[in-house]
Each structure stands twice: as structure tokens, then as C-alpha cells.
Structure 1
Amino acid sequence: MDLQAAFIDAMPSPAWPLAARRGILVAFVATDAWPARVPEAMALLSAEERGRVQRKRRDHDRETTALAYACHRLLLSQVLGCPPGEVPLGRDGLGCPTLHGESIRTSLSHADGLIALAVAGSGPVGVDIEPADRAADMPEIAARVCHPDELDALAGLPEPARARALLSLWVRKEALLKAAGIGMAVGMDAFRAPVGRMLALPGGIAGAAMLRVFDDGDRCLAAVAGLPGGIASAWLSPRS
């Protein structure tokens, strides 16, 4: 079974991509579940995407990026009903993914063999994923991640709970920045990122979003920023 057929087969149902039209669709992929698929992934990419992959220095990073870009195209092709090569996917001046001529919004994140993809039918959307073991690095950069109020709230937590809470803040703020489409133009310490309520997008960007967190225990933490409403998510792994 080729990569495209295996990806479609891995979806919870044929109608699953339609959730993006009604709310937010989130797909998670672990690259170690898709071994030996990089050549097929590269064949699905645009010349610009292949160039970005080839500029990665480490083999592992090239493999993760190639699969991330390919899975992004495959998911969007199912949402839009077109072949992967015809998905009008590009990048804006800050490198954020955009769909030319479509009302659909999309976001992509990948780190250490983990991939998160988000598609929304209306309104902004941003997604971020990080491996759980990255929490160990968070206390060293707490002042860069936290608004002063958040620093105070986390000060009393014992380790490793504080480190885990900091990683959760990181993915939530990355998701909000991606939904705003401004990259790291605004420091994370400049805004708060509570879960479950409407938040103004950072950087004075028009619009608002709500944060949802996906906690996969020892594997990863992820967050999605988007409008409230229905959200459909799944880990996509080949069935055979």
C-alpha cells in the first residue's frame, strides 16, 4: 500500500476530514510508525518544500520534516477533495502555511519525530507539539515563557510538576502565536494563555481563539488554538 493509500486507511473514517468544515480537525503522527516512507513523502512535495527538507542538517530532522509536509498535503487533500499535488499550499512572509484561494485555515508543528496538523473551516487556527521529555529544559527558560502572573502561580509547584506545567504553557503560547500568524514577533512573557476561555490573539492581531490541550502522558504535549466548537482529533498510524 503506498503512502497516500495508507494515510487514508489510517483515518478513523472516510468522513473524518469533513470535521474541518464544521470546526477543527487535528491529526497527530509519530514518524516511527511510518518507517521507510521518506522517498514516497518527498515525491509528494513541491520543489520549495523539498528544498526546505534538504536544508536540514540532520538525517532525523530531514525525515521528520519530509513526512510532516507530506502528511500535511495528504490531510488537506482529503479536506479539499483534490490530489495532494493540487493542494494550493504555500507560505506567507513569516513562513506560516497558507491555502491560496481557500477559506480553510491550517497549521503544522513537528518536533523529534512527532507531527501535529490542524485544519479549521473558519477563523484562525494554530497547533504546537513537543515531546514530553522536553519538560526537563523548561525551568531554565521559565522567565521567557511565563507572564509575571504565571510565574507567580507556578512558583509553588514542586518539580517535576512545575516543569510539566511550563511545557504546557509553551505549547499553548506557540499555538496562539501560530493562530495569530506572527511567529515569535511577540515574546511569550507578554501574554497569558489560560485554557478553556476566549483569548485575544497576541500582537494586537484582530480575532480571538480558545486553547485546548492534548496530554499524551510520557509521549508528548500538544495544544490547539482556534474558535470554540467541535474538534475532532486522532493519532494516524498505518493499520498494517
Structure 2
Amino acid sequence: MALREAFDSALPAPDWLSVPAAGVHVALFDLHDWWPWLADAYTMLDAAEVRRVQSRRVVSDRHQLALGYSLHRLLLGKALECDAVDVPIRRDAKGGPYLAGNAVATSLSHADHCVAVAVAASGRVGVDVELAARAPVVPEIAERVCHPADHAGMADLPGLARSEAMLALWVRKEAFLKAAGIGLQREMQTFAAPDHALLALPSGGMTRVRMLDTDPLWVAAVASAPELPVESAVLRPLTSIAVT
């Protein structure tokens, strides 16, 4: 089975992405499921993606990035109804992906072997995913993450629950900063981001940050135009082979 066929087998429905105007779609991938198609993944990359992959020093990091890029292309190809290799992906000055000459917006996030890809019919979109196991270390950087309103909202939570809430806050703020297109130019502690919050974009307009239902091993959020509904799914090929 080729990677394209494996990807098709993983979709929740054949037409899951055929009507992108319906809103925002977020696909999450465990790269262990996709390792058997690594060779196929490399054949889908353009020259710029190959350079980014080859810049990684660790071989496993290169392979994970190549798989992530290929899955991103496959998802966008379905949304745009074109072949994955023809998707016109470009990158802005901060490395964020966008689609040349197209109103459809996209965002990509990597966390070790986890990848999240978002595609939105309009407006800007940002997605972020982290491993749930990172929760215990997030309080160590609380002062860099939490606005005073965030601290107040978590003040009564016990230790682990507070750590989990802080990790969820982290992914919401990362998703917002990606949607805003400003990366780390704005420090996280300068704004609050409760779940479903409406936040102003620097370019004008608003975005809503929302947590995603996903695998319990991950924590993920998306920021997108408030009026657009959000659908998310973990995509696993029917013939997946777990690689550890």
C-alpha cells in the first residue's frame, strides 16, 4: 500500500475534507503509525522542504519531519482537490506555512512523534500539539506563560491538575501566536487565553482559541475565525504498523 492509499484509509469519511468551506479541520497523527511509508514521504517533498529536513542533525528528526511534511501535503491536497506534490506551500519569515495564491489557511505543529495539521476555509489559523507527559515540567516556566488572570483561574487546582491546566494554556497560547503570525514577538505572560476565548489579531479581526478532543497522550488546541466550526480527528491508517 502506498502512502496516498494509507492516508485515504485513515480519513474519517472519504469526503471529510472535500468541503473546506464548512469550517476548520484538524488532523492529528502519531508518526509511529506512518513509519512504514517513510520512503514514500520523501518523494513528496519540494526542494525547500528537503533542505529543511536535511538541516536536522539527528536522523530520526529528519525522518519525523519528512513524514510530517508529507502528511501536511496529503491533507492539503484533499482540501484543495489536487495532488499532494502540487500543493503550493510557502513559508513566511518566521517559518510558518501558507498557501500561495489561495484563501485557504493552514498551520502545522510537531511534538516529537506527534503532528497536528489544520486547514481553514478562511481567516488565519494556528494549531499546536504537545505531549501530555510534558505537563509536570511546565510549572517551571509558569512566569513566562501565565498572565495574572491565568494564575487566578488555576489557583485552587491541586498539583497535577494545575500542571495539566498550564500545559493546556501553553498550547492555546502557541495556537494563538501562530494564528496571529507573530511567533514569540509577543510574550505569553502578556495576555490571558482561557478555553474558547476571543482574542484580537494584530492585523485586525478576532480569533477563538479552542482545545481539541484528541488522544489522551496529547494536548492540542486551535485558533481560528470565531464563526467557523472545528472538526478534529486522529488519523491512523487501517493497516498501521506500530514502530517503537
Same fold (TM over 0.5): yes
Tell me, in whole angstroms, the C-alpha distance in 2 between the residues paired with 1:96 and 1:207.
20
Deviations 1:61-112 (A, max 9, x none): 2222111100000010111111111111110111110101100000000111
Instruction: Indicate the residue corresponding to 2:83 in structure 1.
Output: 83
Give the letter aligned to residue 221 of structure 1: V
User: Do 2:128 and 2:221's aligned partners in 1 also have CA atoms closer than 8 Å?
Assistant: yes
Instruction: Indicate the residue corresponding to 1:232 in structure 2.
Output: 231
Instruction: Indicate the residue corresponding to 2:242 in structure 1.
Output: none
Tell me, in whole angstroms, the C-alpha distance in 1 between the residues paired with 2:29 and 2:215.
16
Give the letter aligned to residue 233 of structure 1: S
Deviations 1:13-69 (A, max 9, x none): 121003422210110100011123222111100111011111112233222211110
Give the letter aligned to residue 235 of structure 2: L
Give the letter aligned to residue 220 of structure 1: W
User: Do 1:19 and 1:231's aligned partners in 2 also have CA atoms closer than 8 Å?
Assistant: no
> How many matched pairs?
238
Tell me, in whole angstroms, the C-alpha distance in 2 between the residues paired with 1:198 and 1:147.
16
Instruction: Indicate the residue corresponding to 1:189 in structure 2.
Output: 189
Tell me, in whole angstroms, the C-alpha distance in 2 between the residues paired with 1:221 and 1:15.
26
Q: Per-residue deviation at 1:232? A: 1.8
Give the letter aligned to residue 121 of structure 2: G
Tell me, in whole angstroms, the C-alpha distance in 1 between the residues paired with 2:216 and 2:102.
37
Tell me, in whole angstroms, the C-alpha distance in 2 between the residues paired with 1:63 and 1:194.
35
SS at match of 1:33: helix
Give the letter aligned to residue 165 of structure 2: A
Q: Per-residue deviation at 1:137? A: 1.1
Q: Which moved more, 1:27-36 or 1:96-105?
A: 27-36
Q: Per-residue deviation at 1:156? A: 2.9
User: Do 1:56 and 1:62's aligned partners in 2 also have CA atoms closer than 8 Å?
Assistant: yes
TM-score by length of 2: 0.93
Instruction: Indicate the residue corresponding to 2:57 in structure 1.
Output: 57
Report the CA distance shift for 1:219/1:19 in structure 2 as closer, same or farther (over 3 A): farther
Instruction: Indicate the residue corresponding to 1:46 in structure 2.
Output: 46
Instruction: Indicate the residue corresponding to 1:206 in structure 2.
Output: 204
User: Do 2:214 and 2:233's aligned partners in 1 also have CA atoms closer than 8 Å?
Assistant: no
Deviations 1:182-235 (A, max 9, x none): 11110001111112242212xx33221111112546401000001233222111
Identity percentage over the alignment?
46
User: Do 1:128 and 1:222's aligned partners in 2 also have CA atoms closer than 8 Å?
Assistant: yes
Q: Considering only aligned residues, what root-mean-square deviation do their CA atoms show, in Å?
A: 1.4
Tell me, in whole angstroms, the C-alpha distance in 1 between the residues paired with 2:103 and 2:30.
28
SS at match of 1:34: helix
Give the letter aligned to residue 232 of structure 1: E
Tell me, in whole angstroms, the C-alpha distance in 2 between the residues paired with 1:216 and 1:101.
31
User: Do 1:19 and 1:25's aligned partners in 2 also have CA atoms closer than 8 Å?
Assistant: no
Tell me, in whole angstroms, the C-alpha distance in 2 between the residues paired with 1:171 and 1:10.
25
Q: Per-residue deviation at 1:160? A: 0.5
SS at match of 1:9: helix
Tell me, in whole angstroms, the C-alpha distance in 1 between the residues paired with 2:9 and 2:160.
38
User: Do 1:19 and 1:232's aligned partners in 2 also have CA atoms closer than 8 Å?
Assistant: no
Tell me, in whole angstroms, the C-alpha distance in 2 between the residues paired with 1:224 and 1:27.
11
TM-score by length of 1: 0.95
Tell me, in whole angstroms, the C-alpha distance in 2 between the residues paired with 1:208 and 1:23.
16
SS at match of 2:128: strand
Q: Which moved more, 1:48-57 or 1:130-139?
A: 48-57
